[in-house]
Structure 1
Amino acid sequence: MVQAADIREWRGRQVVDAKGRKIGVLEAIYVDTTTDEPAVATVRTGLPTRQRLVFVPLDEAILGPDYLKVSYAKSLVRRSPSIGTDGVLAAEQEEAIFQHYGMAYQPGANGERQLARR
């Protein structure tokens, strides 16, 4: 698991899958609101004129000197829920990200969001 100590320095790093195939460029990190640990990243993908941000979980991710390696295949990440490059993750969209990766979604007891952007 990646540590949150230098989270601001991660932005702009290449994101690759387990086989080293480039997925895109790291845009932002979302932390789990209950633990404040990095949980999901947004990755800028697409052509320069048609870019979007896709979401990928950070479980088992490895932070290298100039890359972030995630444990999910490039094809799965590219099909994940996305937002525009200037978009914001709506609360209603959070659950779809977890479902796409087969993960349990657990909002707070009072309906609080599970993810927060850092």
Structure 2
Amino acid sequence: MATTLRPEELIDNSVVDMEGRKIGKVGTVYLSDESRQPEWVTVKTGLFGQKESFVPLQGAYLESDGIHVQTSKEKVSEAPRIDTDTDLSGEESAELYTHYNLPAPRGAMPEERSRTDTETRSEQGTTGAAGARGRTDERTGPRSEGEAMVRSEEHLRAGTEETESGRVRLRKYVVTEEEQMNVPVSHEEVRIEREPISESDRSAPHDIGEEEQEVILHREQARVTKENVPVEKVRLGKEKVTEEETVAGEVRKEKFDIEEEEGGRRGRRGRNT
């Protein structure tokens, strides 16, 4: 679903890889010398977006969540490191096409590919607004009388992104402990019971001789058994704790110098910030 992309549509947009993962934000747009259409974008990555990597726009399309490109986040992170503050040379362009396994156009031969005017490269500050570098105006010559000049500056924009900070596992394990308890037990003991002689015993004949009597005694023994009893239920939960973290970064600002020519002499009249 490749469509023609305009540089102003790409500025301040997120770049999404072919698996739907966010790679970063557009830093710079490079136009093709032949078609004058966007050919590459640099993606700002790392803390405060201090790193930039080149991403090809072949087959890219724009949706509400950003620019979808036909490469992976890992491929972008492994791309050759090229200075984004200078023109993209033919050798650098060819190196990028080789890295992304793309057919290189004729303009990507190892010779200088320079940006000839402000349309060659659209710059973006941290505020997300596009602007040309100061040397561009020097190439175009003096502006006509009464024409306004726009002064731009970068502002820091801070946000948050959720990353994995660690993992916690709840594990159940078994320990063996010794437990003691008192169990009441009973046993039988023999005792001699004496009874008085009754009249019938006196009148009955009794022979003197040996005789024996046997009684079976019993006793209780302690016996231990085990049973599993649920005693507690636990689970892992999460809560969000909000803290303040200080971030910092360098920003650039444009300033005005006023030069005045009088009597064949040129002098600096003052500075307006």
TM value normalised by structure 1: 0.79
Q: Deviations over 1:12-34 (max 9, x none)?
A: 11111011111110112111111
CA offset at residue 102 of structure 1?
1.6
1:52–1:16 distance in 2 versus 1, CA, 3 Å: same
2:24 paired with 1:28: no
What letter matches 2:85 in structure 1? G
1:37-52 superposed matches below 5 A: 37-48=37-48, 51-52=50-51
More strand by share: 1
CA offset at residue 89 of structure 1?
4.0
CA offset at residue 40 of structure 1?
1.0
Could you say which residue in structure 1 is the equivalent of 2:80? 81
**Unaligned stretches of 5+ residues in structure 2:** 123-273
| Contact residue 18 and residue 69 of structure 1 kept, 8 A | yes
Is 66-75 or 99-108 further displaced after alignment? 99-108
| Contact residue 5 and residue 61 of structure 2 kept, 8 A | no
Could you say which residue in structure 1 is the equivalent of 2:57? 58
| Aligned residue pair count | 114
Which of the pair has more CA radius of gyration?
A: 2
2:17 paired with 1:13: no
CA offset at residue 76 of structure 1?
0.2
Could you say which residue in structure 1 is the equivalent of 2:257? none
Could you say which residue in structure 1 is the equivalent of 2:93? 94
1:113–1:60 distance in 2 versus 1, CA, 3 Å: same
Hey, what's the Cα distance between the residues in 2 that align with 1:32 and 1:14?
A: 21
CA offset at residue 10 of structure 1?
2.0
CA offset at residue 107 of structure 1?
2.5
**Unaligned stretches of 5+ residues in structure 1:** none
Hey, what's the Cα distance between the residues in 2 that align with 1:87 and 1:57?
A: 18
Q: Secondary structure at the match of 1:43?
A: strand
CA offset at residue 58 of structure 1?
0.5
Q: Secondary structure at the match of 1:55?
A: strand
CA offset at residue 9 of structure 1?
3.6
Q: Deviations over 1:64-103 (max 9, x none)?
A: 124111110100011112345x622441422211111122
RMSD in angstroms over aligned alpha carbons? Answer: 2.6
Q: Secondary structure at the match of 2:85?
A: coil
CA offset at residue 114 of structure 1?
8.1
Hey, what's the Cα distance between the residues in 2 that align with 1:79 and 1:62?
A: 22
Q: Secondary structure at the match of 1:107?
A: helix
Could you say which residue in structure 1 is the equivalent of 2:235? none
Q: Which has the higher contact order (CA 8 A, sep 6+)?
A: 1
Could you say which residue in structure 2 is the equivalent of 1:117? 121
What letter matches 1:41 in structure 2? V
1:81–1:2 distance in 2 versus 1, CA, 3 Å: farther
Question: Identity rate of aligned residues, in percent?
Answer: 31
Q: Secondary structure at the match of 1:26?
A: strand
